[in-house]
Amino acid sequence: MKQVLEGSHAVSEAVRLARAKVISAYPITPQTHIVEALSEYCADGSMDARFICVESEHSAMASCIGASSAGVRTFTASSSHGLALMHELLHWASGARLPIVMAEVNRALGPGWNIWMDQSDSLSQRDTGWIQLYCETGQEVLDTTLQAYRLAETVNLPVMVVLDAFFLSHTYEPVDIPDQKSVDTFLPSFVPRISLDQQEPNAIGQMAPPAYYMEMRHSIQMAMQAVLPHFIDVEREFNNVFGRTYGPVTPYACDDAEYIFVMAGTSASTCRQAIKTLRDQGHKVGVLKLKMFRPFPYQYIRKNLEKAKKVIVLDRNCSFGAGGIFAQEIRSAMYACKAHPQIFSYISGLGGRDITVDHFFEMLDRTEKSGYPENESVWIGLNP
């Protein structure tokens, strides 16, 4: 059934359909619409779940960890400082191998206080062992949230479904909401592999001395490496039932492209618009939208970029003292390729500053005119 939905509500519809049983959340703009909708569903009975109004994001993740360890499907949502506050427990959730799903709305970190679009919050957490999937449209948000539970419960790792602050969270788009019966077939009840067990009393999460710890960590990496093939399977199944698929990356006009833009999030939509104009002008340009960031889809990045002359990476984030984070990881991925396209890193659109087609024209222009990247990352759109 197609409805015009706000991006936030695409998340809440998916969580409702996924039959999450414990939702534990703390408000932070611009995620609040997600959890407000869920608390209404819990209150009016359209969801059979317990909604815990915790007193901080740290406690939100802690209670998800508690609930997931006791064997039920859980959900939370956060953004920016809230996500940052959860940091310690993001590590805990993946270390505990819990299939928690969280919606993370990409928002800037302060000071100054800024509630708008920025990728620094989720990317600061890239080392925490969470699967990270970046979305571009409301439909993709709904679909990815449903798929996230399948993926999480298959590999026993938590999943972060990421959407742009306001550009996606508060934008209304037509979204096809699947029926409950089809979702139940695609996503059956959660059967935990390990949970607190009264019959066979067990201890979960104990001290692990040097003789044991490393193997536990290795198993997380092994699980991460299993994600990509499982993701392909899950997407294939989803496509069979619902008729939609995205891929870990989505190429557009890349086959014969000399210049390929790479980015995650809603700026990919703007970029495709720019590509259409540039192609009309005779530029051989394409765009590769990045959806899966953790695990990093090395083979997909290499396969799609190795024939390009130059790669233009857009980062709406900055790792201070280094540069754009997507660019760093793409450079690292391409190092192993025989072909070495030049990787140009541009930082723009921080703290909600808009990225327009003109910015993409400027990025292409600068890239065309440079033999080599002039800097680790070049900032575009700064006020003089």
Partner 1 sequence: MNHNSQEAISGCIMKSKYPATDYIMSGHVACPGCGAVIAMKFALQALGAKTILVIPACCWAVVAGVHPQTSLKVPVLHTAFETSGAAASGVRAALDMKGDTETTVVAWAGDGGTFDIGFQSLSGACERNENFLYVCYDNEAYMNTGVQRSSATPYGAQTTTTPKNAWKSHRKKNIIDALAAHRIPYAATVNIAYPDDMMRKFKKAKDIQGTRFIHAYASCPTGWRIPSDQTVAISRLAVQTNLFPLYEVDKGTDYTINYHGNRPVAEYLKIQGRFKHLTEKDHADIQDMVDEDWQLLKGKAA
**Chain contacts with partner 1 (rule: CB under 8 A):** 21-22, 24, 48-50, 52-56, 58-60, 62-72, 74, 88-89, 92, 196-198, 201-209, 212
Of the pair 217, 276, the CB lying nearest partner 1 is at 217
Nearest Cα to Cα of residue 94 among 328, 294, 326, 300: 294
CA distance 337 to 291: 21
> Min. distance of Cβ 60 from partner 1 in angstroms?
8
CA distance 60 to 89: 10
Of the pair 55, 256, the CB lying nearest partner 1 is at 55
Of the pair 65, 160, the CB lying nearest partner 1 is at 65
DSSP state of 113: P
Of the pair 44, 280, the CB lying nearest partner 1 is at 44
> Min. distance of Cβ 85 from partner 1 in angstroms?
11
Half-sphere exposure of 147 (CA within 13 A, CB side): 32
CA distance 31 to 283: 39
Of the pair 215, 233, the CB lying nearest partner 1 is at 215
- Which amino acid appears at position 100 of this protein? I
> Min. distance of Cβ 92 from partner 1 in angstroms?
6
Is the CB of residue 128 less than 8 Å from the CB of residue 294?
A: no
> Min. distance of Cβ 209 from partner 1 in angstroms?
6
Of the pair 68, 139, the CB lying nearest partner 1 is at 68
The answer, yes or no, to whether the previous bond of 295 is cis (omega within 30 of 0) is: yes
Of the pair 88, 127, the CB lying nearest partner 1 is at 88
For residue 63, count other CB atoms closer than 10 A to its CB. Answer: 20
> Min. distance of Cβ 6 from partner 1 in angstroms?
27
Q: What are phi and psi of 96, to 5 degrees?
A: -85, 0
Two structure tokens written together for 6 = 């706000």
> Min. distance of Cβ 23 from partner 1 in angstroms?
9
> Min. distance of Cβ 329 from partner 1 in angstroms?
28
Of the pair 82, 286, the CB lying nearest partner 1 is at 82
- Which amino acid appears at position 287 of this protein? V
Of the pair 92, 346, the CB lying nearest partner 1 is at 92
CA distance 200 to 265: 45
Is the CB of residue 307 less than 8 Å from the CB of residue 337?
A: no
**How far is C-alpha 359 from the chain's CA centre?**
24
3-state secondary structure of 131: strand
Of the pair 87, 230, the CB lying nearest partner 1 is at 87
CA distance 362 to 274: 11
> Min. distance of Cβ 131 from partner 1 in angstroms?
21
> Min. distance of Cβ 48 from partner 1 in angstroms?
8
Give one word for 157, left, alpha or beta, with left for phi > 0 and alpha for psi -120 to 50.
beta
CA distance 351 to 343: 24
CA distances from 377 to 120, 249, 258, 290 (A): 15, 22, 20, 19
> Min. distance of Cβ 58 from partner 1 in angstroms?
7
